[in-house]
Amino acid sequence: MSHTSEFLIRHGAPCLFAAVFIEQMGVPLPALPWLLAAGALCASGKFNPVVAIGLTVIGCVLADAFWFQLGRRRGNQVLKFLCRISLEPDSCVRRTQNLYTRYGLKGVAVAKFLPGFSTIAPPLAGMSHVNVCRFLLVDGFASLLYGVCFIGLGFVFSNQIERIASAISQTGGSALCVLAGLLAIYFAYKFWRRQSLLRELRMAKITVEELRQKQTAGESLIILDLRSSLELEQDPGFILGAIRFGISEVESRYQEIPRDREVIVYCSCPNEVSSARVALLLHRKGIMQVRPLLGGIDAWRALNYPLDFSKPEST
């Protein structure tokens, strides 16, 4: 028996729970290897499958309940925090918002199988004021399905997993060093991509002071509010004259944007990545006078510039 197997047999239960809980809390450490290993041990009769699935469900539900309550109480602040720490700026947050807006609580179940999405879906459910019991019921079912699927895969492919574990054990610490090195390269690459993108997007930003000066001077501007419907429900104020323009609609509606006027786009992510991405996209579509707003809606509000709380118009 390999040292890896011995370790899993002795400490498998707390390790499995910790791995699942940590991943669901948003730490980029995958729980999948632990779930597969637990399934392999279940196939050999060295681990109780009911216990393995139960620990997975408990770990998921505890982490999701935490994020659900934070989303209900803090709303956009939670999304901004997740956006700030994300390796893919706010793109994961934005895609999960679109997923939840489209499918509702079904999106919580789907997101459970998508790394990164599973952490963001629960606070979105909290922001939408879903009933707590209903959320826990759906989330518990999704967690059960998640545990059964991946532990079941480990059970079915237990022979292959045991061979891999044995090979790793025989190579000693060198394999772990290689794995650690690959993970370090992956995170370094993601960090480099994030920084490169942010440097690229600093080129043509407009400050809130400049935008306000243009407004008071009577310049004819097109201002696009890119926030999702959930964000607008939590924070209904928008910049005077802004037009509601969902990010998912940009590809299909960009021809509605006048090309002879300056276009300002803004969102609520702390790095304004969404607005900057849209600015680049519109620029590629031939709309050259487009600039992301530095600091987004939060920077505008911080200087006490006027906000409109009526329903934003659409193009």
What's the number of domains the chain is made of?
2
Dist CA 18 CA 4 (whole Å): 17
Cα three-residue angle 139-39-32, rounded to 5 degrees: 60
Q: Say whether pLDDT at 191 is over 70.
A: no
CATH number of the domain to which 271 belongs:
3.40.250.10
Q: Are residues 183 and 251 in the same domain?
A: no
Q: What is the pTM of this model?
A: 0.58
Q: Are residues 275 and 131 in the same domain?
A: no
Q: Which of 181, 103, 195 has its CA nearest to residue 142?
A: 103
Q: Which of 60, 59, 44, 56 has its CA nearest to residue 154?
A: 44
CB atoms within 10 A of CB 123: 30
Q: Are residues 77 and 123 in the same domain?
A: yes
| Segment 125-146, tens digit of pLDDT | 888 888 899 999 999 999 999 9
Q: Say whether pLDDT at 1 is over 50.
A: no
| Segment 272-290, tens digit of pLDDT | 667 777 887 787 788 888 8
Q: Are residues 67 and 27 in the same domain?
A: yes
Of 199, 228, 249, the one marking the end of a domain is 199
Q: Are residues 191 and 222 in the same domain?
A: no
Q: Are residues 177 and 231 in the same domain?
A: no
**Partners of 213 in the beta sheet?**
none
| Segment 231-276, tens digit of pLDDT | 777 778 889 889 888 777 887 888 888 888 899 998 876 556 677 7
Of 175, 199, 223, the one marking the end of a domain is 199
Q: Are residues 153 and 10 in the same domain?
A: yes
Q: Are residues 145 and 250 in the same domain?
A: no
Q: Are residues 58 and 164 in the same domain?
A: yes
Mean pLDDT for 66-85 is 76
Of 148, 182, 199, the one marking the end of a domain is 199
| Segment 88-116, tens digit of pLDDT | 545 555 666 666 666 677 777 888 887 66
Q: What single DSSP character describes residue 29?
A: -
In which band, very low, low, confident or very high, does the pLDDT at 168 lie, cut at 50, 70 and 90? very low
Q: Are residues 195 and 239 in the same domain?
A: no
Mean pLDDT for 294-304 is 87
Mean pLDDT for 22-50 is 85
Dist CA 148 CA 284 (whole Å): 45
Give me the pLDDT at residue 11, please: 73
Q: Are residues 172 and 298 in the same domain?
A: no
- 83 vs 22: which has the higher pLDDT: 22
In which band, very low, low, confident or very high, does the pLDDT at 9 lie, cut at 50, 70 and 90? low
Q: Say whether pLDDT at 177 is over 70.
A: no
Q: Which of 39, 61, 206 has its CA nearest to residue 138?
A: 61
Give me the pLDDT at residue 292, please: 87
Q: Which two tokens mark 286?
A: 């031939």
Domain that holds residue 134: 3-199
The length of the chain, given as a count of residues = 315
Give me the pLDDT at residue 121, please: 82
Q: Are residues 213 and 128 in the same domain?
A: no
